Amino acid sequence: MLLLLKSILLGFSVSAPVGPIGILCMQRTLEHGKRAGFLTGLGAASANVVYASFAAFSFTLVSHYLVEYQTVLQAVGGLFLGYLGVKIFLKQPAQHAANLKGNHLLFMYLSTFFLMITNPMTIFNFVAMFAGIGVQMNSLSIQSASALVIGVFLGAITWWFILSTFVSLFKKKFTYLVLALINKLAGATITSLGLVALVGMVL
């Protein structure tokens, strides 16, 4: 359960930074409604789940090779989360959406899915982040790997639902300052996950 909660928080925080996909979600929500915005985010979340699955289930296949490096991997992962969190915290919101066209609801989903799936380096990000939140290589069962992936997905879709709903309800008050605040909160959360992992190694 703790692993599931950590992965939900991770999936939520990784999705929250307001980049091109976030701007695209907001634009589509404003132009075509909450459902269009949510499906835009769902496409991105689905792509992340694909890569998170590769990362999580590869742990179960190669765990016996990595047990002796667990401490090193957790340290690297914790540092990576700290770096990622600070980078997001300092990041300015995107000024433009990703360059995609189309109004059909299925296209809303597929367009962002394929946009996100074209970045295979994401799998290495998840490997580092999973290690950073304290995933134990020598005890990661199929059930635990599934909990990781499910958590990432639940956290991600929760964010996209909140974002599309928020924009739909408060479209006239959605300012640049709000976007900047979202980046600050997401960055602080990810950095905290990294610090917790590093402190856990010492205690």
Phi-psi region of 102 (alpha: psi -120 to 50; beta: other; left: phi over 0): left
The residue ranking higher by pLDDT, 202 or 66, is: 202
Structural domain for 147, as ranges: 2-202
User: For the chain, how many structural domains are there in total?
Assistant: 1
Identify the DSSP state of 93: P
Q: pLDDT by residue (tens digit) across 45-90?
A: 998 888 888 777 775 565 555 556 667 767 777 787 788 778 768 8
**Degrees to nearest 5, angle at CA 84 with 83 and 89:** 100
- pLDDT surpassing 70 at residue 103: no
Residue 126 CB contacts under 8 Å (≥ 6 apart), including other chains? 48, 51, 52, 54, 55, 56, 152
- pLDDT surpassing 60 at residue 132: yes
183 band by pLDDT with thresholds 50, 70 and 90: confident
Identify the DSSP state of 171: G
The residue ranking higher by pLDDT, 170 or 140, is: 170
Q: What is the mean pLDDT of the chain?
A: 77
- Least reliable range by pLDDT among 29-33, 57-61, 161-165, 177-181: 57-61
Q: pLDDT by residue (tens digit) across 108-125?
A: 898 888 877 876 667 767
